[in-house]
């Protein structure tokens, strides 16, 4: 059963989109991560224009993040003050990212920019995760205990503009959270991701936040930042396809429920290894598409330049 996506200007099977949403939702539930960095490349592979894939996936992340943030709110696992600082940086970053996205779209280079960003970030993150998980699996087989070093004081504590975050039991500078939020806002606008795969490690290892409040605070910030990104993309780039977003959301909600149950039967090291392998596979496919000869060497598009 085909459905026409008005913004993407493409007819796609409803069952294929529901299946993709369910598949990514399953993986998100199993690995405990947002599916934006997987769904956007998959939409690109399907033939959806990268600009539409980015803006639409940001819209879907809003709905997915709201439910997660509310669940953590009820458990009191959200640091509101830290979330607001991260949100301030995220809103600034979203404006910067959207303007950069709009500029590259006017130049006709936004699709290339999106793919390059994905290859770089997925390659770096997937590579680091693969190395770390492989070492953990090797140590586990050898029976070697994995030791974690807890750092009490490091360079973040020496920065100015300190604030007290009671829920996180921290007294640190507001500059690192602002910088982290800004980076995530830029990535959300350019790549259509929530940025949790960068924010969560940064909140734990850079800011020193307790793990119990990290996920809830991250979802709190991501909800508002991706909402701002969606509004800006709707106004400036007109690339949000609501029909596509709704179909993906329905599938992902169902898939996440099953993924969560399966994830309970796998060890942490195995989950990270599988996730790293999947991220690297997507990175390699995108990288290959960048350097390979396209099937159609020429395409006709209507630009903004009129007679230029």
DSSP assignment of the chain, as one string? -EEEETTTTEEEEHHHHHHHHHHHHHHHHHHTS-SHHHHHHHHHHHT--HHHHHHHHHHHHHHHHHHHHHHHHHTT---HHHHHHHHHHHHHHHHHHHHHHHHHHHTT-HHHHHHHHHHHHHHHHHHHHHHHHHHHHHHHHHTPPPP-PPPS--GGGGSSSEEEETTTTEEEESHHHHHHHHHHHHHHHHH----HHHHHHIIIIIS---HHHHHHHHHHHHHHHHHHHHHHIIIII----HHHHHHHHHHHHHHHHHHHHHHTTS-HHHHHHHHHHHHHHHHHHHHHHHHSPPS-S------TTTT-
Q: Which residue has the higher pLDDT, 267 or 140?
A: 140
Q: According to the model, what pLDDT value does residue 300 have?
A: 46
Q: According to the model, what pLDDT value does residue 92 have?
A: 92
Handedness of CA 221, 227, 276, 123 (dihedral sign): negative
Q: Which residue has the higher pLDDT, 88 or 169?
A: 88
pLDDT at 72 over 60: yes
Average confidence (pLDDT) over 134-139: 78
pLDDT at 88 over 80: yes
For the stretch 10-69, pLDDT in tens is 888 888 888 888 877 777 666 655 567 778 888 888 888 877 887 787 776 776 667 667
Q: Which residue has the higher pLDDT, 264 or 193?
A: 193
pLDDT at 8 over 50: yes
pLDDT at 193 over 80: no
Average confidence (pLDDT) over 81-95: 88
Average confidence (pLDDT) over 147-157: 53
pLDDT at 146 over 70: no
pLDDT at 152 over 60: no
Is there a contact between 177 and 82 (Cβ–Cβ < 8 Å)? Answer: yes
Q: Which residue has the higher pLDDT, 59 or 161?
A: 161
What's the CA gap between 98 and 261, in Å, rounded?
A: 37
What's the CA gap between 237 and 74, in Å, rounded?
A: 36
Q: According to the model, what pLDDT value does residue 148 have?
A: 46
- Of 164, 31, 20, whose CA–CA distance to 85 is shortest? 164
pLDDT at 97 over 80: yes
pLDDT at 185 over 80: yes
Is there a contact between 27 and 35 (Cβ–Cβ < 8 Å)? Answer: yes
For the stretch 210-260, pLDDT in tens is 777 877 788 788 778 878 887 887 777 777 788 888 888 888 777 767 766
Q: According to the model, what pLDDT value does residue 260 have?
A: 62
pTM given for the model: 0.67
Query: What residues form DSSP beta bridges with 12?
Result: 3
Tell me which of 83-87, 185-189, 282-286, 299-303 is least confident.
299-303
């Amino acid at each position: 059963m085909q459905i026409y996506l008005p913004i993407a200007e493409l007819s796609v099977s409803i069952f294929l989109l529901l299946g993709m949403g369910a598949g990514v939702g399953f993986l998100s539930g199993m690995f405990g991560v947002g599916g934006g960095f997987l769904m956007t490349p998959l939409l690109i592979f399907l033939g959806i224009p990268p600009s539409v894939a980015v803006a639409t996936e940001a819209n879907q992340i809003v709905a997915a993040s709201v439910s997660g943030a509310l669940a953590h709110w009820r458990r009191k696992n959200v640091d509101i003050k830290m979330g607001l600082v991260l949100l301030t940086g995220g809103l600034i970053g979203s404006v910067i990212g959207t303007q950069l996205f709009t500029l590259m779209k006017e130049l006709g280079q936004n699709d290339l920019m999106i793919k390059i960003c994905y290859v770089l970030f997925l390659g770096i993150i997937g590579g680091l995760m693969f190395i770390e998980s492989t070492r953990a699996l090797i140590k586990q087989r050898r029976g070697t205990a994995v030791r974690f070093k807890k750092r009490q004081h490091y360079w973040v504590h020496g920065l100015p503009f300190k604030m007290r975050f009671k829920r996180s039991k921290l007294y640190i500078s507001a500059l690192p959270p602002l910088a982290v939020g800004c980076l995530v806002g830029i990535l959300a606008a350019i790549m259509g991701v929530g940025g949790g795969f960068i924010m969560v490690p940064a909140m734990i290892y850079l800011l020193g936040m307790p793990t119990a409040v990290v996920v809830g605070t991250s979802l709190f910030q991501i909800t508002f930042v991706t909402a701002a990104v969606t509004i800006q993309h709707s106004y400036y780039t007109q690339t949000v396809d609501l029909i596509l977003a709704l179909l993906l959301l329905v599938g992902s909600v169902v898939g996440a429920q099953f993924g969560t149950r399966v994830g309970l039967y796998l060890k942490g090291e195995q989950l990270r290894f599988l996730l790293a392998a999947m991220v690297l596979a997507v990175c390699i496919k995108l990288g290959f598409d960048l350097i390979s000869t396209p099937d159609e060497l020429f395409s006709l598009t209507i630009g903004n330049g009129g007679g230029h």
